[in-house]
Structure 1
């Protein structure tokens, strides 16, 4: 039974002394409670974090395997994800420039490559990631929550205007990348098709793989994916670093950023909608559940769109979510539920997801293979010029340049996983809908147009030779 008099006494005491009555008590269980409340690794209280580590070790040592079922993997990915993220946050200087997202992704990849992470953990994580497609649940909840949190005017303006800095950034990035490669003694065609284009191809599934298939058909090379994939990863890594740097610039110069918003809001922007939404926000279990259901239903619509049109499911879902928002298709209470779901996934699921991505799909050996001074120079110059152009063009268009430039970073990202890492480093997960446009649609356009030009212009009229391309 709850003692309301005691609760009221605690509140009154906290107002007068800054502490509750229990905070002044010692011994069991008060010291234990304070340890739980005041010391955390990510979102996990330190005692629970230690217990999680012990249980994982015992499971692996005693049974020699780790179940890939969701209950065990929630603990495992949470433990390692937040541990790697915490390491990144505590690094000097770079800890404030996106190192947490980098460490959460690339430390697990390196641990797998060097055989340090126990094999049962690797096998279980890979199976869990592949069987559940957990990344898509994460992305759909983030996208839907972001869109439902935007006012309609900003949503329309954002989707109409964001293509301009994206296009300008790609043109400048391509020209700079090719020029730098030429100055370093690389063939122009090779620089574009095997260094610059993979960076802007939109990741692995919708970018590197179609690109490598196209190269196999047109150039007769069988190792296209092994050539392209490392460049995609290094481009994504550079994008993460740029996102972290942009975040620091935004903190130093607040007038340049909307902290996840693309446009300054006018005083009368959707005032009635905001008041209605605020009055309807009631956070309970059913509200949260309705937010999850909304996100998953919209993703199923995206899957149907993909089956009919071939458009990636996250993009189809994105358009469906925009339509629902524009026609006010769900109540303010359900909108608030989707925002709670967004916040939960942003704070509690990001680093575990990045750990799973690092173990399951990030190949450390591919990154090492592409780690040459020439490649790095071309990649860094391409991504930096892409992001810088997005910054200044968006500023001319009346957008917040930091936030628009973060979306430009995502143009060099490793698909959906890259978007998660870049936006985490930039602390602007609200931009996920625009990031998906940049990677999915932008990447598809880049790959399709480039392969068409290669097949029907360059090779057809002997403007380049296959030997020059593959070097």
Structure 2
């Protein structure tokens, strides 16, 4: 912090890690130790997101440190792609192949239900508050469930600007507060669902999304997990896990680059890992090594990794401006609640756990894609759901953009 406030923090990866570490430790410890924050506001993960954002709002971080964090998070090379790749690889390979394909096929209907539920409740909220049903859906619901910023708000603003008397930049300033507010609400609802799961254990699989009625299968899965956890961590194994993760990412990137550029790299990454797991492409030793490498980052760097999310993506001025309009807040809450309930209730019909399907299929439709997924799942204490959340953010977000293009031509924006 001496280097930060004397404006001498090195403008490189070492300076970025140093600032992430110290802010992550301080805010993470505050969130974990203060009982009210820990029990009701999401604990350390929430503090690591909102703490740095509030520091910026009150002018407590120098501009060059803010710029360093934003470049580190969103620039090239992107720390976030680096970190999320390890988390996705570990999460996917730790899912039992016996339930991976079943749960994946059942999950898509929950995403569609989340889109429908969010738009329906937003329209009702628009009618009740006088905000307007069309305006509520197009300017609040669609941005909130549209896939975050880079793959959501930015292309959405371009789509909207073609039919409105506004530039893409002006349109972006209209939809961005909804994206930010939806992200915050998704995190808060995730905290609530985590508490509901603790109070009513029958509603949750504690990170496992699919219900397993077969007692023999449940026992086999428990034995499989226990066996995997009994394998000791080795230095060589961590290196192998690093290699496997990078290899899968580059393979997904190659497919995205040469075959279907419009599909996000992380979608291909998840599909490749699903195929590898289902077809037993990797021997157990390589799977376990990749899981150990992923857990090394999660256990040591989660708080630090959330800090640049708060700095780069959480604009408190936009949040304050948004919450000053009661109708805006009510409709945003209804949108996120509708996504949650739509995904959760359809999930129960398809024999998924209500809490897990609500979080991964509903809340991860309403947050800011990968950054929001990480924050939401950390607040819910369910990082195991990261592969499903990525499906919701990317596949669901793409569906929303297509629907937005059709709707804006048919009914306009309601402005």
**TM-score above 0.5:** yes
What is the aligned partner in structure 2 of residue 197 from structure 1?
A: 142
1 or 2 for the larger relative contact order (CA 8 Å, sep ≥6)?
2
2:15 aligned to 69, 72, 81, which one?
72
- In structure 2, distance between residues paired with 1:279 and 1:184: 53
Q: Does 1:269 align with 2:217?
A: yes
The answer to whether the 8 Å contact 2:86/2:293 transfers is yes
Question: Displacement, 1:125?
Answer: 1.9
1:286 aligned to 211, 230, 236, which one?
236
The answer to whether the 8 Å contact 1:410/1:435 transfers is yes
Q: Secondary structure at the match of 1:328?
A: coil
Moved more, 87-96 or 172-181: 87-96
- In structure 2, distance between residues paired with 1:267 and 1:149: 20
2:377 aligned to 409, 423, 441, which one?
423
1:134 aligned to 79, 96, 99, which one?
79
1:86-105 correspondence runs (5 A): 86-97=29-40, 98-105=42-49
Question: Displacement, 1:419?
Answer: 0.1
- In structure 2, distance between residues paired with 1:190 and 1:279: 51
What is the aligned partner in structure 1 of residue 157 from structure 2?
A: 212
What is the aligned partner in structure 1 of residue 293 from structure 2?
A: 341
Question: Displacement, 1:250?
Answer: 1.2
Q: Which runs of 5+ in 1 are unaligned?
A: 1-55, 459-463
- In structure 2, distance between residues paired with 1:344 and 1:279: 14
What is the aligned partner in structure 2 of residue 332 from structure 1?
A: 284
What is the aligned partner in structure 2 of residue 360 from structure 1?
A: 312
| TM-score under structure 1 length normalisation | 0.81
Question: Displacement, 1:205?
Answer: 0.7
What is the aligned partner in structure 2 of residue 414 from structure 1?
A: 368
Question: Displacement, 1:424?
Answer: 0.2
What is the aligned partner in structure 2 of residue 147 from structure 1?
A: 92
Compared with structure 1, are the counterparts of its residues 193 and 123 closer, same or farther at alpha carbon in structure 2 (3 Å cutoff)? same
Question: Displacement, 1:379?
Answer: 0.7
The answer to whether the 8 Å contact 2:160/2:408 transfers is no
- In structure 1, distance between residues paired with 2:161 and 2:283: 50
1:36-185 correspondence runs (5 A): 56-57=1-2, 59-61=3-5, 64-97=7-40, 98-129=42-73, 130-185=75-130
Q: Secondary structure at the match of 1:349?
A: helix
Q: Which runs of 5+ in 2 are unaligned?
A: none
The answer to whether the 8 Å contact 1:280/1:332 transfers is no
Q: Secondary structure at the match of 2:166?
A: coil
What is the aligned partner in structure 2 of residue 403 from structure 1?
A: 356
1:443 aligned to 388, 391, 397, which one?
397
Q: CA RMSD in A?
A: 2.2
Q: Does 1:303 align with 2:253?
A: yes
Q: State the structure with more CA Rg.
A: 1
Question: Displacement, 1:333?
Answer: 0.9
1:217-228 correspondence runs (5 A): 217-222=162-167, 223-228=170-175
Compared with structure 1, are the counterparts of its residues 380 and 94 closer, same or farther at alpha carbon in structure 2 (3 Å cutoff)? farther
Provide Cα deviations, 1:81-109, integer angstroms capped at 9, x if missing partner: 23223333344445224243332112212
Compared with structure 1, are the counterparts of its residues 352 and 279 closer, same or farther at alpha carbon in structure 2 (3 Å cutoff)? closer
- In structure 1, distance between residues paired with 2:154 and 2:388: 23
Question: Displacement, 1:268?
Answer: 3.8
What is the aligned partner in structure 2 of residue 34 from structure 1?
A: none
Provide Cα deviations, 1:302-334, integer angstroms capped at 9, x if missing partner: 212222312111111111111111111111111
Q: Does 1:258 align with 2:212?
A: no
Q: Secondary structure at the match of 1:131?
A: coil
